Amino acid sequence: MLVCIDTTQYSKEEICAIVEAAADWGTYVAAHVFTDRAVNRLLDCGVKTFDHGFFISEETMRKIAAAGGFVVPQMWGISLDLAKNPLMAPAKIPLVVAQGKKYKDFGRNLLKNGVKVVFASDYVGKFEDAELARRYEIWWRTQTFDSNFEVLKQLTSTAGDVLALSGPRNPYQAGKQGVIEEGAYADILLVDGNQLEDISVIGGTDKWFEADPEWKPIETLDLIMKDGKIYKNTL
């Protein structure tokens, strides 16, 4: 469902009906949402994940945490580097910069208030553009959440917790996640480097619109395996 910045879409009755229909299928509802008013209406009906959410108060953050919800914030949306987008209208650049400065502590406040955060980047366009945004998002989160370890959790285990909410729709329900043992899902990365110290070894970079636009593989990923099938092996 979609809730925009300046409007709150869907009545409480409609949202609760959507949540009920999803529950009938053993799954959950995610919302694209920004404001306190919208998030609280969604929480009242049992919505579980909240994309963006930049303009919510700390009180609402605590309500999300208490309800066992997740925030999926796409942090590039409050990065000052967004103003460097060549497609950005010049008149909007001061607004983007002001927004970035105003909400600079958004990520830290989520953690302070116990909210579980998931990694994602919904930047759309050509594959190369989306890939640059994703790699920038990985690095940018290490700045806004102050911890490579926290960002790695958002990329892996916390994201897995969200998938588990989808019950029989969960693509990973047949095997264990996060362990290397017989019967577990064989999704494995072998990384040449310590991502706890250097996030660039999994592709994170502080360059976005100023980066080389040509797509390049992440050389420090020596092995990429999914569902037991090897897609890259340079060992």
pLDDT over 60 (residue 123): yes
Contacts of residues 193-202 at CB distance under 8 Å and 24 or more positions apart, as own/partner, are: 193/220, 195/148, 195/152, 196/148, 196/149, 196/152, 197/148, 199/138, 199/139, 199/142, 199/148, 199/151, 200/139, 202/138
Task: Find the mean pLDDT for residues 159-164.
Answer: 88
Query: Taking the model in full, what pTM does it have?
Result: 0.91
Check residue 92 and give its pLDDT: 85
Domains with residue ranges and CATH for the chain: 12-178 (3.20.20.140)
Residue 112: pLDDT band with limits 50, 70, 90: very high
Task: Determine what percent of the chain is predicted with pLDDT higher than 90.
Answer: 68
Average pLDDT, the chain: 91
pLDDT given at position 160: 87
For 132-146, write each residue's pLDDT tens digit.
999 999 999 999 999
Region 174-198 average pLDDT: 87
Query: Contact, 79 vs 140, CB < 8 A?
Result: yes
Given a cut of 80, whether residue 5 has pLDDT beyond it is: no
